[in-house]
Amino acid sequence: MKRFLVIGIGHFGSWAARALHAQGHEVVAVDREAAVVDRHGGVVSRCVVGDGTDRELLREIGASASDAAIISTGEDLAASILATLAVKDVGVREIYVKVTSQEAARALEALGVQETIFPEKESAERLALRLPSTTVLEYIPLAGGHSIQQIALPDRWIGKSLRELALPTRHRVSVVALYDVLTDRFDVAPDPDAPLKESDVALIAGENETINRLLGREG
């Protein structure tokens, strides 16, 4: 079990706090609005009314013992910056900040946060990559132009084994897992010699351009 600090429990912050708490982690949430705190008191370990930029408050609630902090103060960039500085000052090393613009992301990244999160941009990009394709079911971006994609199997793959396809050596693409939609079986170590079926969905990883060429050629 880890300990997480969440500053700002609007839409993004509350979902993050709920998800972490549901996984069994300790979550301490802070928000300026008493009504918001009242609504979320039962879904986290502790919910506090207060200013997430107040170092003394953060120390009082044990923020320094947090493994990571999530800062989600809406469109208030100044509040995000001040909360980031306060969290760093009390000793939290991993800080994740929700931003609403590229400019805000650059400002927070200059402060050395672990990661800035731009939900609207990321969701839009994932949707834009999925919509034109009849093959891609889900898209998870990775660093350096790589991604993990959930795909319906191209027709030419059906009946062949992963060993026959030799995707890692021929195309530098790896099948991470297979999911059979008929049996509801998720296989993270698929048999390389088993024939692929029409009911299989594959989770593949590789460089975006390579995956696009592969799916375009094979699909």
Domain count, the chain: 2
Q: Is 26 helix (H, G, I), strand (E, B) or coil?
A: strand
For residues 200 and 153, what is the distance between their CA atoms, to the nearest angstrom?
A: 7
Could you say which residues of the chain have pLDDT below 50?
Answer: 134, 217-219
Structural domain ending residue among the three candidates 96, 117, 138: 117
DSSP 88-118: HHTT--EEEEE-SSHHHHHHHHTTT-SEEE-
Domain span at residue 167 reads 123-218
Shared domain for 97 and 22, answered yes or no, is yes
Shared domain for 113 and 136, answered yes or no, is no
| CATH number of the CATH domain containing 21 | 3.40.50.720
Determine how β-strand 94-98 pairs with β-strand 115-117. parallel
Shared domain for 89 and 61, answered yes or no, is yes
Shared domain for 51 and 85, answered yes or no, is yes
Shared domain for 150 and 180, answered yes or no, is yes
Q: Residue 218's pLDDT is what? A: 43
**Sole residue written with tokens 């390579």:** 210
Shared domain for 83 and 137, answered yes or no, is no
Q: Residue 131's pLDDT is what? A: 54
Q: Which amino acid is at 210?
A: T
Identify the H or E element spanning 194.
none
Rg (CA), the chain: 22
Give start and end residues of each alpha helix (H) in the chain: 11-22, 34-40, 55-60, 77-89, 102-109, 119-130, 162-165, 167-171, 208-218
Structural domain ending residue among the three candidates 117, 136, 171: 117
Structural domain ending residue among the three candidates 98, 117, 136: 117
| CATH number of the CATH domain containing 161 | 3.30.70.1450
Q: Residue 143's pLDDT is what? A: 77
Q: Which of 204, 80, 60 is nearest to 69 (CA)?
A: 80
**Sole residue written with tokens 């696009």:** 212
Shared domain for 93 and 167, answered yes or no, is no
191-206 per-position pLDDT tens digit:
999 999 989 999 999 9
Burial class of residue 212, CB neighbours in 10 A (0-12, 13-18, 19+): middle
Shared domain for 103 and 151, answered yes or no, is no
Helices 77-89 and 102-109, axial angle in degrees (round to 10):
20
Q: Residue 184's pLDDT is what? A: 84
Shared domain for 58 and 159, answered yes or no, is no
Shared domain for 20 and 109, answered yes or no, is yes
Shared domain for 67 and 155, answered yes or no, is no
Q: Which amino acid is at 205?
A: A
Residue 83 Cα to chain centre, angstroms: 22
Q: Residue 215's pLDDT is what? A: 81
Shared domain for 73 and 148, answered yes or no, is no
